[in-house]
Structures are given as C-alpha cells and as structure tokens.
Amino acid sequence: MLLAAEVPENVYRGELIQYPGQWGFQMRRPGIILVTDQELEALASDPDKVLNLTTGRSPRNDSLRGLCERAKAQGHRTLMIAFDHFFAQYRPGQNAPRQLMPDMDEYIQRMAKIGKFAEGYGLRLELSLLSPLELGKAYARTTGESGIWMHYREGMRDPKTGVFSVELWQHRNWANNKGVIDVEDAGVRVFAFRETPMPDAASRIVDPAARTPYHVVDPNTIVEVKDGIRVERMDNVVARSGDFRARRIRVYGTSPLAQEGLDRVLVEQL
C-alpha cells in the first residue's frame, strides 16, 4: 500500500508554467456531451463517424478522431465525456429513455473502447459518474430492488356501503439532466379514515362548540382497504409537458369495513 507522499503527482507542465494539484482542473479541455445511447454506441464502434454534437444554436458536427487530433495538437491531456439531456433541445428527436447507464457493464465496455482510442492521442477521460440520477438500473436488475415514489389523492367514501371513487394522474415519464425515465406502475393502496374538526381552545370559553378551520386525523383509526379495489386506466386522457407524460386513472370499489364512520379515503399510486 502506497502512502500519500509516495504517490507521484500528475503535474501539467507547459512552456512557461506548470499546474500542480487542483489547479490542473482549471485547464481548458475538449468535451463531448451525449444525449442518446446511440451516440455512445457510435463513438465506441466507429471513431470516424461524424455526429451532431452541438450544445447550442450553432451547428457542431465532429468525430471522435477529429476531436482527439485537435486536442493533441493544442496540448490538451483530458477529454471530458458526459450525458446531459438538457442539450437534446438542440438535437431534435432525442427523447427516448436511456438503456446504458454508468453502473452497467455494457456502458463500461463502450467507455473503455473510447478511452483506449483517446489514449493513443495522450488523452485521459474525465467522466460524469457521480450523479445519483445516473445510477440504479444495474442495481435494480441485479437485486430486484429500486426506489419507490408515491403520488396520492383524497376522496369521499360511503361510510355504510364502503363505495368510493377517486381520480388522479398516473405518471408515465419523467425527465432530468440525465435523461428520460420510464416510471413503472407498482400498484395502488387505499386507506379509509375520518376527519374531526380541531377545537378552538381560545374561543371555547365563550362558545364551547367553537372550531378552527383545521381538521385532524387520529392515526390509530386509519384502516387500509385491501379488498374490492379496482383501477380504471383512461389511455386517451393524457397530460404532456415536454418529456413529462401522465394518464388519468380512476381508483374505485366497494369496501365494507367493521369500523364505522370512515367517510374518506386516501389513494396512493406507487
């Protein structure tokens, strides 16, 4: 095991000045912003393939070889590669969910090919790998575990028959800087409960029945409804905004319970 003092520092030395340690990060370096898996595939398989790599309104078509040749001629030592869906706005039609993520062997194999090619020009790779938005698919595939997002809506329930019906949006796609995400439907849960007005302690001296505009729910009286739940999906009632997609659903059913007076339900979409 090497001690910190024994690790050689990779100092950038120019004709007149050198940049040790953290100051080397201020050196300008060429970069590639990816917005699709296909761009990563192309860079790894054909360094001469010309791609649309624009990050603004001015066109920028380039190949991996051309970029590396200019970087070497200009004395650069680092090639930055990152994925940023934000720049898809300048490359129309790039809105498909990613299948290659940094925690996947398939991604690492392709990036290794790019790194091997860039190494021939004296370039090392600087990769965007630390964002939690880019991690998780390989973990979920291996373990079967993933994060859970919950969307909820409150509605009325017949306290005697148990009939209820609640409409809400079921999200289908999200998007962030690391790409479009397919949101998977993990089912719904329904909870029956009862609200009671919160008394106004300051006014009860004058009016014992005084109430505030607020209501309270006793957690011990909440009952989960496990039977008689149905979900109706309205595939033609949709919401769109950029890369966001959702469809309307109705969660309904008849759920008689032993507990009386539970006149409301909370529907959770997982």
Q: Which tens digits make up the pLDDT trace of 185-222?
A: 999 999 999 998 877 665 555 566 667 788 889 999 99
How many structural domains comprise the chain? Answer: 2
Residue 208 lies in a domain: yes
Gap between the terminal Cα atoms of the chain: 47
Look at residue 107 and tell me whether its pLDDT is greater than 70: yes
* Percentage, residues of the chain above pLDDT 90: 54
Q: Are residues 73 and 158 in the same domain?
A: no
pLDDT of the residue at 19: 72
Regarding whether 118 and 50 lie in a shared domain, the answer is: yes
* Nearest in space to 231 (alpha carbons), one of 184, 187, 172, 183: 187
Q: What is the DSSP letter of 7?
A: S
| Structural contact between residues 231 and 238, judged by C-beta atoms closer than 8 angstroms | no
The reported pLDDT for the residue numbered 102 is: 87
Same domain, 246 and 187: yes
Per-residue pLDDT at 7 exceeds 70:
no
100 and 204 both lie in a single domain = no
Residue 23 has pLDDT above 70, yes or no: no
pTM: predicted TM-score of the whole model, two decimal places = 0.74
Given 142, 165, 182, the domain boundary residue is 142
Q: What tokens appear for 156 in the block?
A: 């009325």
Tell me, yes or no, whether 14 lies in a domain: no
Is pLDDT of 175 > 60? yes
Same domain, 183 and 222: yes
Is residue 178 predicted with pLDDT exceeding 60? Answer: yes
**Last-in-domain residue among 142, 169, 197:** 142
19 assigned to some structural domain: no
Residue with tokens 């066109």: 59
What is the domain range of residue 76? 28-142
Residue 229's pLDDT is 95
pLDDT digits (tens, 9 = 90+) for 213-259: 888 899 999 999 999 999 999 999 999 988 899 999 999 999 899 99
Q: How far apart are CA 75 and CA 214, in angstroms?
A: 68
